[in-house]
């Protein structure tokens, strides 16, 4: 884990935005800081996994790897959703390598079988092994909760309830209804930048004109407002008319929920966006697209345009984030100042980081 210094403690001080500096470069680049982020920040919080509808029937399961922890999420015979460590008790093999459906979970390595409750029921040719009890080989379970059908895992088991973590979102976005949304597609990108660089970039529209000239032409973000609600930062703005690229009127809600979740909500559409560090210099951005449209032809038109815009904008964001990571590692840069008009979101996210790090450094957590 990262060893905090006196200088780090000074950098944890939260200042008014007019006087604030950005967090120091080494918080984005130090390998030990990455371990601290993954084990003490992200594993202790709620991590987005997927949607209940993706495992609609008993036996359906989802497989994923979140911050280096392989998981298998299954709907059991009683229709409860359970999240297991996808690591066999024999010699560490996976029970499954991709999502699917099964009556039993069978390890791909030597075919030990587990029921949907995670109990070991079969270990081929294990007669003769002394003091071996199947009861000692139950799959470890992680805490899982659901918000309006969206599934989240908490690896440490001690995070506050999910409903509290996401409180206020479904009320704020009315009449948009999260529970109407159906899973459409997952798109994953690997980015050669620290996960916090990617989120910082998400938190402001200051870079839209220089970095996303195409987006700047079709979307007016001048009416966007940033609201800070503790661990949630909301960027909110009207969508001008129905001729905008998202084919919808109403308003857009861009939520960042500390530490690493974004919900991009438009009428009839939600994009869940989870930013997962691989190491200090790399992260995965997982985009899950959901739409409420049930007419397949209409859905395809809307989704196609949405995914195309998202891909263009994402590639521009990846380009700039990767350059920023290089800048942060250059040795010539430590901290900068914050634009009061445009970077309130960056300031808020970095203050949430400061609070989390201060709690770690002072032993409050
Ligand atoms: S590792 Fe799973 S059966 Fe051997
Ligand atoms: Fe961007």
Which residue ranges make up each domain of the chain? 6-46+167-361, 47-154
The pLDDT confidence band at residue 314, using thresholds 50, 70 and 90, is very high
CA dihedral 207, 213, 214, 215 (to 10 degrees): 20
The pLDDT confidence band at residue 239, using thresholds 50, 70 and 90, is confident
Backbone angles phi, psi at 105, to 5 degrees: -100, 125
Task: Report the separation in Å between the CA atom of 63 and the middle of ligand 2, taken as the mean of its atom positions.
Answer: 30
DSSP notation for 27-93: HHH-HHHHHHIIIIIITTS-EEEEEGGGG-STTEEEEEEETTEEEEEEE-TTS-EEEEES--TTTS-
Q: Is the pLDDT of residue 364 over 80?
A: no
The pLDDT confidence band at residue 255, using thresholds 50, 70 and 90, is very high
Task: Report the separation in Å between the CA atom of 314 and the middle of ligand 1, taken as the mean of its atom positions.
Answer: 39
Q: Supply the pLDDT for residue 241.
A: 61
Nearest bound ligand to CA 123?
1
Q: Is the pLDDT of residue 149 over 80?
A: yes
Q: Is the pLDDT of residue 243 over 90?
A: no
The 10 Å Cβ neighbour count of residue 43 is 20
Residue 241, burial from CB neighbour count under 10 angstroms (0-12, 13-18, 19+): exposed
Q: Is the pLDDT of residue 132 over 80?
A: yes
Q: What's the pTM value of the predicted model, to 2 decimals?
A: 0.96
Q: Which fold has domain 6-46+167-361?
A: Naphthalene 1,2-dioxygenase Alpha Subunit; Chain A, domain 1 (3.90.380)
Cis check: omega of the bond before 94, within 30 degrees of 0: no
Q: Supply the pLDDT for residue 220.
A: 73
Nearest bound ligand to CA 215?
2
Give the number of the atom of ligand 1 that is nearest the alpha carbon of residue 112: 3
The pLDDT confidence band at residue 357, using thresholds 50, 70 and 90, is very high
Q: For residue 272, give Cα distances in angstroms to 86, 117, 251, 253.
A: 23, 28, 17, 12
Nearest bound ligand to CA 201?
2
Task: Report the separation in Å between the CA atom of 132 and the middle of ligand 1, taken as the mean of its atom positions.
Answer: 15
Q: Which of 72, 84, 88 to mutate to test the pocket of ligand 1 (most atoms within 8 A of CB)?
A: 88
Give the number of the atom of ligand 1 that is nearest the alpha carbon of residue 107: 2
Q: Which of 96, 107, 139 to mutate to test the pocket of ligand 1 (most atoms within 8 A of CB)?
A: 107
**Rounded Cα–Cα distance for residues 153 and 210 (Å):** 37
Ligand 1 binding pocket, CB closer than 6 Å: 88, 90-93, 107, 109-112
> Mean pLDDT over residues 323-331, rounded?
98
**Considering only CA atoms, which residue is closest to atom 4 of ligand 1?**
110
CATH architecture of 47-154: 3-layer Sandwich (2.102)
């Amino acid at each position: 884990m990262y060893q905090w210094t006196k200088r780090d403690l000074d950098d944890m001080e939260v200042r008014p935005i007019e006087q604030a500096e950005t967090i120091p470069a080494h918080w984005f680049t130090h390998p030990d800081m990455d371990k601290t982020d993954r084990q003490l920040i992200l594993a202790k919080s709620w991590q987005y996994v997927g949607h209940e509808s993706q495992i609609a029937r008993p036996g359906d399961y989802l497989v994923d790897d979140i911050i280096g922890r392989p998981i298998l999420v299954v709907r059991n015979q009683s229709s409860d959703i359970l999240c297991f460590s996808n690591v066999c008790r024999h010699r560490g093999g996976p029970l499954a390598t991709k999502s699917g459906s099964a009556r039993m979970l069978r390890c791909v390595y030597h075919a030990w079988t587990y029921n949907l409750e995670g109990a070991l029921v079969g270990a081929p040719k294990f007669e003769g092994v002394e003091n071996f009890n199947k009861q000692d080989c139950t799959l470890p379970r992680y805490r899982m909760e659901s918000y309006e059908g969206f599934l989240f895992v908490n690896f440490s088991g001690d995070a506050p309830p999910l409903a509290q973590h996401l409180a206020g979102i479904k009320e704020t976005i009315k009449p948009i209804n999260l529970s109407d949304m159906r899973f459409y597609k997952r798109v994953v990108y690997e980015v050669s930048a620290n996960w916090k660089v990617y989120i910082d970039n998400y938190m402001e529209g200051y870079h839209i004109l220089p970095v996303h000239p195409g987006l700047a032409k079709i979307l007016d973000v001048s009416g966007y407002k940033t609201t800070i609600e503790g661990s949630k930062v909301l960027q909110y703005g009207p969508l001008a008319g129905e001729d905008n690229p998202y084919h919808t009127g109403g308003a857009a809600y861009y939520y960042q929920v500390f530490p690493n979740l974004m919900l991009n909500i438009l009428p009839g559409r939600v994009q869940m966006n989870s930013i997962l560090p691989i190491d200090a210099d790399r992260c995965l951005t997982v985009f899950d697209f959901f739409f409420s449209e049930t007419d397949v032809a209409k859905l395809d038109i809307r989704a196609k345009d949405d995914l195309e815009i998202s891909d263009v904008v994402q590639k521009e964001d990846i380009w700039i984030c990767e350059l920023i990571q290089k800048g942060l590692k250059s040795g010539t840069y430590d901290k900068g100042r914050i634009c009061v008009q445009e970077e309130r979101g960056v300031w808020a996210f970095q203050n949430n980081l400061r609070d989390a790090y201060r709690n770690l450094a002072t032993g409050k957590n």
